[in-house]
Amino acid sequence: MRLRNIPGSREVIAESRYVVHEEETKAGCWHDIFENDHPIHIEIGMGKGKFIMALAKANPQINYVGIEKYSSVLIRALEKMEQEEEPLANLCFIRMDAENITKVFAKDEVDRIYLNFSDPWPKDRHAKRRLTSKEFFARYDQILTGEGRVEFKTDNRPLFDFSVESVKEAEWNLDVVTYDLHHDEVLVRGNVMTEYEERFSAMGNPIHKLIASREK
Ligand SMILES: C[S@@+](CC[C@H](N)C(=O)[O-])C[C@H]1O[C@@H](n2cnc3c(N)ncnc32)[C@H](O)[C@@H]1O
């Protein structure tokens, strides 16, 4: 998702109380930022933030960090946050490219990573840019706790198949794999839909999901 440039969005983001700036100086400090010891869950490529805002409202005992590459997209999440009656103290955002994620979180600082409907980068030569490539799993390995996990949803079958292979190549465990989440009575319980999930499931596309961990 890359929206048309929105004039002034960089300035709004620079002044937003919901955005953490100079994120590369924050590794190891996230519990101080939230002022508690609650687990930290991040969503990479959160888009307009529907999913992570719903999780933050439902789980006040978990801290959430939403990561988005483009100002023109992040600003839509900020607009939603401004409409909330009560500010969500357990949610903040970073505008950054996830390639730099290991500079922003320290070893063992993150308890869960959500990847939802990540960009497919269909050309082979761009495979390393996919958020579920083995290169990205190596980055996740550096910041996740021992029990931490990655949860990934998509309707894109080639990307999903690639992701399953990446998990295996990275020698992580595949704890969950479903090719039709919405028709899996157990796994669908508590599922929070993302914007893309609503759109693609309304078109009849099955939603695939995997959960990967490296706990022995
Ligand atoms: C297809 S959209 C999905 C949005 C949302 N997760 C959903 O399911 O509705 C993918 C989002 O990931 C963002 N994104 C892609 N690559 C990224 C990266 N390397 N770092 C941070 N965000 C990224 C894009 O800008 C876009 O907003």
Ligand 1 binding pocket (C-beta < 6 A) is: 1-2, 44-47, 67-70, 73, 97-99, 116-119, 194-197
pLDDT digits (tens, 9 = 90+) for 144-198: 999 999 999 999 999 999 999 999 999 999 999 999 999 999 999 999 999 999 9
Residue 85 lies in a domain: no
CA of 30 to the centre of ligand 1 (A): 22
Q: Is there a domain that residue 188 lies in?
A: yes
Q: Which atom of ligand 1 is nearest to the CA of 43?
A: 6
DSSP 131-199: TTSHHHHHHHHHHEEEEEEEEEEES-HHHHHHHHHHHHHTT-EEEEEES-GGG-TTTTTTPPPPHHHHH
pLDDT at position 2 = 57
Residue 196 CA, closest ligand 1 atom number: 9
Is residue 197 a part of any domain in this protein?
yes
What's the rounded Cα separation, in Å, for the pair 178 and 98?
A: 26
Domain that holds residue 176: 107-216
Ligand 1 atom index nearest CA of 50: 9
CA of 42 to the centre of ligand 1 (A): 13
When computed from its CA atoms, the radius of gyration of the chain, rounded to whole angstroms, is: 17
Residue pLDDT, tens place only, 58-105: 999 999 999 999 999 999 999 999 999 888 999 999 999 999 999 999
Kindly report the CATH number assigned to the domain that includes residue 124: 3.40.50.150
Model's pTM, two decimal places?
Answer: 0.97
Under the banding of pLDDT at 50, 70 and 90, the label for residue 216 is low
In this prediction, residue 215 carries a pLDDT of: 76
Asked, for residue 80, whether it belongs to a domain, the answer is: no
Asked whether 67 and 45 are in contact (CB, 8 A), the reply is yes
**Residue whose CB lies within 8 A of the most ligand 1 atoms, among 43, 102, 117, for a mutation test:** 117
Distance 119 CA to ligand 1 centre (A): 6
Residue 11 is assigned to a structural domain of this protein? no
Q: What phi and psi values does residue 159 have, to the nearest 5 degrees?
A: -65, -40
Asked, for residue 155, whether it belongs to a domain, the answer is: yes
In this structure, is residue 127 part of a structural domain? yes
Residue type, 84: E
Residue 59 maps to a domain: no
Q: Check residue 213 and give its pLDDT.
A: 98
- Domain count across the chain: 1
Closest protein CA for atom 13 of ligand 1: 45
Q: How far is the CA of 176 from the centre of ligand 1 (A)?
A: 22
